[in-house]
Structure 1
Amino acid sequence: MSAAPETTPEAIIETRRWLERAVIGLNLCPFAKAVHAKRQIRYVLSPAQTPEALLEQLADELRLLHATDADTVDTTLLVHPQVLRDFLDFNDFLDAADALVAELGLEGEIQVASFHPDYQFAGTDPDEIGNFTNRAPYPTLHLLREASIDRAVAAYPDPDVIVERNIATLEKLGVDGWRELLKP
């Protein structure tokens, strides 16, 4: 008797597609390719339906990442499609996420980056293409080891150029090109 085929939730499939085609494919984050190639990214689909439940799961994931060897899991993408769909609520939640990192004694070890379908940098219009650098298919918390960030930045000649290059790349691509890029 053969084993049942593994099923991957659609939200994880779409998040991987975004990572592979946009983040890595457009080189929006030059550090993502290596951990992806080494299969050191943990993808977690959260069942949380409230910010409180998400915060509990975030605590579990922070502890797990901290306790796991970086060669096994270097970073985690916590995808939470059922909660914090409104960007302003999501943005407000980031203060609680940062407070949780501090409460767990993980400041200087792990940080939480954020991605959202409606991401908007302060002082920008919602449709500005620069916002798309932080747009993912679903609200997503990215747990990063600071030691990994430090190593990646040290190996990259001029990390300050990344933001400027990303905006130029997205301006060339345009919103229609972005949508086409992420189609199944």
Structure 2
Amino acid sequence: MPQAHTLSQQEIIAQTEDWLEKAVIGLNLCPFAKAVQVKKQIRYVVSAAETPQALLHDLQQELETLAEANPEKIDTTLLIHPFVLNDFLDFNDFLDVADGLLEELDLDGILQIANFHPDYQFADSSPDDMSNYTNRSPFPTLHLLREDSISRAVEAFPEAEAIFEKNIETMEQLGIEGWHRLFPDRSK
């Protein structure tokens, strides 16, 4: 896979959309994603930030944009940041800062932040554990979601609490070979 600095914003978004369509929607890792993708209610933003502080600034802008936007136009935002927090542990530490920003903006309970990373690793798992692939994206990504949308989706989906376990099962059945067939141009 080419280094992020050699890719255009359009190429970064295209790789992210490809991952969303093949993994998140295609493997049904998130049963709620297809509707917003079909309705074109996902805002894709590529941050040029190269420091956590610059990313925090971009995150604030995107949280405010999403909070003010008509949900029929923008229901969710993927803030892709390929040039900062490429180390998963640094990324993971930043999530506390991101959640603190939500509270500071009084958006806690209105919006929430999910996270995806090329090297995503759940606590107490080994790096090559297939369960990690449920959250592995082509680039570090903060997913900004509306709490109302999540609530409606969960109400409409029977046994929403079982999604996580089903996703791990799906990834284990797929295996690393299956993942590489989905994304032959990626090493992870």
- Same fold (TM > 0.5): yes
Q: After superposition, what is the alpha-carbon deviation per residue over 1:9-42, rounded to whole angstroms, capped at 9, x for unaligned?
A: 2211110000000000000000000000000000
1:163 is displaced (CA, Å) by 1.1
Aligned twin of 1:47: 48
1:177 paired residue number: 178
Which residue number corresponds to residue 4 of structure 2? none
Aligned ranges for residues 29-108 of structure 1 at < 5 Å?
Answer: 29-108=30-109
Structure-1 residue corresponding to 2:5 = none
Moved over 3 A (4+): none
Query: Structure 1 stretches of 5 or more lacking a match?
Result: 1-6
Q: CA deviation at 1:183?
A: 3.5
2:139 is the alignment partner of 1:138:
yes
Give the equivalent residue in structure 2 for 1:167.
168
Q: TM-score, normalised on structure 1?
A: 0.94
Q: Distance in 2 between matches of 1:183 and 1:138?
A: 16
Please tell me the residue identity of whatever aligns with 2:76. Answer: T
The CA RMSD over aligned residues, in Å, is: 1.0
Give the distance between the partners of 2:161 and 2:152, measured in 1 at CA.
15
Give me the whole-angstrom Cα distance separating, in 2, the residues matched to 1:118 and 1:64: 28
Q: Which residue identity lines up with residue 56 of structure 1 in the other structure?
A: H
Q: Secondary structure at the match of 1:94?
A: helix
Q: Given the superposition, is the C-alpha separation of residues 51 and 66 from structure 1 closer, same or farther in structure 2, using an over 3 Å criterion? A: same
CA contact (8 A) 2:117 2:140 kept: yes
Matching residue's letter, 1:147: D
Unaligned segments of structure 2, at least 5 residues: 1-7
The count of aligned residue pairs is: 178
**Structure 2 residue 42 is the aligned partner of structure 1 residue 26:** no
- 2: distance between equivalents of 1:32 and 1:146? 14
For residue 99 of structure 1, report the CA deviation from its aligned partner.
0.2
Structure-2-length-normalised TM-score: 0.92
2: CA distance between counterparts of 1:91 and 1:137?
16
